[in-house]
Structure 1
Amino acid sequence: MMQSVIATLLQVIVPLSIPVIVGALLARYKNLETKPLLTLYLYFLSPAIIFETLTTAQLSFDEVYKTFVFSLLNLVVLWAAANGLGRLLRLPATETAGLTLVSTFTNSVNYGLPLVLLAFGKLGLDKASVYVIAQMVIVNTVGVYFAARSQFSIRGAVKSVFSLPAIYAALTAMLLRALDMHFPAGVEKGIAMISQAYSPVVLAILGAQMASVKKSDFDRSIQTAFWSGMSVRLLLSPLLACLVLYVLQVQGTLFSVLLILASMPAAVNAGILAERFNASPHMVTKCILWTTLASFIVLPVLIAIVK
């Protein structure tokens, strides 16, 4: 077991940590701006890797169906756990909203995809692609609702989903597969080349975002929400994901990939939503930082277990 964990650290976590560290150093000493990089990621790299993966993925209808069902069921279970903790601990509404965001949304896109690719290869990436698409839709609909129920608009949520280029890339890829068609070889080669730049760039962005988190003193309720969020994301979420996967009778590589993606640290998007709707943003960003750091220890253990 220990040998497997150490092997995972050396073969998966160390390669992932290099661009993260470089991004953090550039942000700290060269004032790296993440906003233009986020634009590059959102409108260039993300659509490319989603399209390239979905057009070449070896997936069955049963796997796609179970992945979407798992995404929804796992969301409901984590939401119930976060809200239950909020009521039990008598947290204010803003801290409960922040705790819900930290508990339910994982960094499956700019950390999960590179991790799965290194840990499980192309087969794992194929199976992860459907989950990532589901998460993009959920974060931009249900995530907005969790962050600001009073400001939630179905029309606005739908509009935010269809403002994501990755959604159109996914729809195009699925249409081409359904019609058994392909883009010209040169176009597909160009898209594949762009997708290869995805991992190092988004991991550098993650490092820069982590370096920008500022130390701050919290009052008691925010501290309670912070430790609750850490506990749910690092300890409870893998157990609940296992339970949901067992109920759905998911097995094999799909089980391993979905469990790892569901156990990822808190999503960067959670911090964006918390900031926008005042859902305890300082607590949420601190959770993002510390769950990401802790994941360098927790995830190798999980990967060693499921592999």
Structure 2
Amino acid sequence: MIADILLEVVLPIFVLIGFGIIMQYAFKLDLYTLAKINFYYITPAAVFMSMYESKMSPQLLGMVALFYALYIGVLYLISTLVAKQRRFNRGMKAAFTNSLLLDNSGNYGLPINDLAFKGDPMAGSVQALIMSFQSLLTFTYGVISIQGAKTEGLYKQAIIGFLKMPVPYALVIGILLHALALPLPVFISQPLTYADQSMVAIALLTLGAQIIKYPLRLRRLDVYLSVLLRLLVAPAIGILIVLLLGLKGIPAQALIIASGMPVGVNSSILAEEYQNEPDFAAQTVLISTILNVITITGLITLAKFIA
């Protein structure tokens, strides 16, 4: 089973990331444009289609929301305790916390889910919902924590950033149209379907191009501590919460796998934007993504046994 998961799920992901790395080296891709295409078209389209075609009941949607709230709450508590023990300054504490809370559930998590569950709409809906929650967290808490609550105009900036995000709108509209069972005209559904189908390839090529811009440095202990918590402790917490909530089957498996994503590129983007520990943030993204080839293989295997 492990060999099958490695060959059929994990290696295809990293082959596409590798193509992104090669193309970045060869052509110096416009990462700004790639990020905008992903953020404003492909990802919202994938989220919308996942919700529109969702098999989730309102009860399951509530359970996923509860899972995520508990999961983030426990990770925040752990990061606070570690930051206190390590005597981090305010800026480092924010960067460290973001490295645990802001994972790559979008341009990495959605493709992993798609391959692991062979496009199952229930699993895809769970991952899309997690990714939507993650986007909300990034542009609310992520911005606030890294900028500092006393910064002038901070809350206005966070609210404006939130309102500009297309993913929440795609999520709500997808759920609403699904609940009302309204058919989509072909001239709308087909472009969305094309974008949804391109999501895996485009998202992973973009991820490869993004992570290669960061030089690999292996000397920071705090980076390894963050990666250890992100790749091993976070999924252990996810498993415990799934068991606590009594979830079973594909939703449980999808949540367990979603809890094991590497550090999100957004944590590094925020660190660069506000010049708050950008080297630390970049290293956690790069090293956790590389090591995830091992941990996600084991986690997918474990999820199938547990749930």
User: Does 200-209 or 42-51 show the bigger shift?
Assistant: 42-51
1:94–1:278 Cα contact (<8 Å) kept: no
How far the C-alpha of 1:217 sits from its partner, in A, is 7.7
1:134 is matched with: 133
How far the C-alpha of 1:243 sits from its partner, in A, is 2.1
> Structure 1 residues 288 and 189, CA, compared in 2 at 3 Å: closer, same or farther?
same
1:96–1:225 Cα contact (<8 Å) kept: no
Give, in whole Å, the separation in 2 of the partners of 1:173 and 1:215: 40
Gaps of 5+ in 1: none
User: Does 70-79 or 157-166 show the bigger shift?
Assistant: 157-166
1:53 is matched with: 50
Q: Does 1:208 align with 2:209?
A: yes
Q: Does 1:103 align with 2:100?
A: yes
User: Does 10-19 or 237-246 show the bigger shift?
Assistant: 237-246
2:168 is matched with: 167
Give, in whole Å, the separation in 1 of the partners of 2:100 and 2:156: 25
1:272 is matched with: 269
How far the C-alpha of 1:111 sits from its partner, in A, is 0.3
TM-score, length-normalised on structure 1? 0.93
1:12 is matched with: 9
| One-letter amino acid of the structure 1 residue matched with residue 249 of structure 2 | G
2:108–2:204 Cα contact (<8 Å) kept: yes
How far the C-alpha of 1:216 sits from its partner, in A, is 5.0
| One-letter amino acid of the structure 2 residue matched with residue 17 of structure 1 | F
| One-letter amino acid of the structure 1 residue matched with residue 109 of structure 2 | G
Q: Select the residue among 248, 252, 265 that pairs with 2:249.
A: 252
Give, in whole Å, the separation in 2 of the partners of 1:6 and 1:19: 19
2:300 is matched with: 303
Provide, for residues 141-166 of structure 1, a one-character-per-residue CA deviation record: whole Å limited to 9, x for no partner: 11112222233733332321220122
Provide, for residues 165-212 of structure 1, a one-character-per-residue CA deviation record: whole Å limited to 9, x for no partner: 222222221221232212213421221112111110110011011111
1:112 is matched with: 109
1:99–1:228 Cα contact (<8 Å) kept: no
Extract structure 1 runs of 4+ deviating beyond 6 A: none
SS at match of 2:285: helix
> Structure 1 residues 90 and 35, CA, compared in 2 at 3 Å: closer, same or farther?
same
How far the C-alpha of 1:89 sits from its partner, in A, is 1.6
Q: Does 1:86 align with 2:83?
A: yes
> Structure 1 residues 8 and 50, CA, compared in 2 at 3 Å: closer, same or farther?
same
Give, in whole Å, the separation in 2 of the partners of 1:147 and 1:259: 28
User: Does 135-144 or 157-166 show the bigger shift?
Assistant: 157-166
Q: Select the residue among 35, 38, 45 that pairs with 2:32.
A: 35
1:235 is matched with: 232
> Structure 1 residues 58 and 71, CA, compared in 2 at 3 Å: closer, same or farther?
same
How far the C-alpha of 1:50 sits from its partner, in A, is 1.1
1:71–1:135 Cα contact (<8 Å) kept: no
1:226 is matched with: 223
SS at match of 1:212: coil
SS at match of 2:107: helix
How far the C-alpha of 1:85 sits from its partner, in A, is 0.7
Count of residues in Structure 1 that have an aligned counterpart in Structure 2 = 300
Provide, for residues 224-265 of structure 1, a one-character-per-residue CA deviation record: whole Å limited to 9, x for no partner: 321210111111111111222222222221111111111100
Q: Does 1:178 align with 2:179?
A: yes
How far the C-alpha of 1:64 sits from its partner, in A, is 0.5
TM-score, length-normalised on structure 2? 0.93
How far the C-alpha of 1:100 sits from its partner, in A, is 0.5
